[in-house]
Amino acid sequence: MNLIDEKLISGKVIAVSMSNTHTFSKENRNKIKLISGYGVEGDAHFGTTVKHRSRVAQNPNQPNLRQVHIIQSELFDELKDRFDIKPGQLGENITTRGINLLELPTDTILHIGEEAIIQITGLRNPCPQIDHFKPGLLQAVIDKDSEGNLIRKAGIMGIVLKSGEVSSNDSIRIQLPPKPYRKLERV
């Protein structure tokens, strides 16, 4: 795993978004409130048990490891010659800049703003709905590494450890878990 330089682990929030219904895109807000153990207050994925509809159909009692969806705005930069994507449009709650989220290990802790704390649980698995939003986007957010392993670029998921409000321009400080690091897997 090619982890980011441990001395350069900070970034910022550039947008926050939420939707109280199961829409693909989320509306940008001035701030969102994270609630410990539940997620983003008022968001359709708020709760201790899974809220993603396909996962509810499999087992509605499984724990919600997808309380908060975070995506790096650098992905939008990477795709800008083919797709015009704005914060919140890929369903994320928090859009960041300055951190390669995909290289962080499982269980990394994100301290966001003054109080909020999120623990990273894994990678978002982009679904075919993404092509309903913009045709061809699913293929653009999936890649393969040199060994042929699938790379999912559509962001990371986490759970809220400590409640707090999050706004754009909030700082993000990263606390890596103890070694050995575990690579992010799909959740």
In 10 A of CB 90, how many CB atoms? 25
How distant, in Å, are the alpha carbons of 2, 12, 115, 138, 167 from that of 153? 15, 19, 27, 10, 23
Taking only Cα atoms into account, the Rg of the chain, rounded to an integer number of angstroms, comes to 15
Percent of the chain with pLDDT over 90: 84
How distant, in Å, are the alpha carbons of 32, 71, 168 from that of 17? 7, 11, 10
Calpha distance 52→14 (Å, rounded): 25
Phi, psi (degrees; rounded to nearest 5) at 11: -160, -160
In 10 A of CB 109, how many CB atoms? 17
Please list the pLDDT of the chain residue by residue as tens digits (187 residues).
444 445 447 899 999 999 999 999 999 999 999 999 999 999 999 999 998 878 888 898 999 999 999 999 999 999 999 999 999 999 999 999 999 999 999 999 999 999 999 999 999 998 888 999 999 999 999 999 899 989 999 999 999 999 999 999 999 999 999 999 999 999 9
Which residues on adjacent β-strands are paired with residue 173? 10, 111
**Can you give the three-state secondary structure of 101-141, one letter per residue?**
HHHCCCCCEEEECCCEEEEEEEECCCCCHHHHHCCCHHHHC
In 10 A of CB 60, how many CB atoms? 10
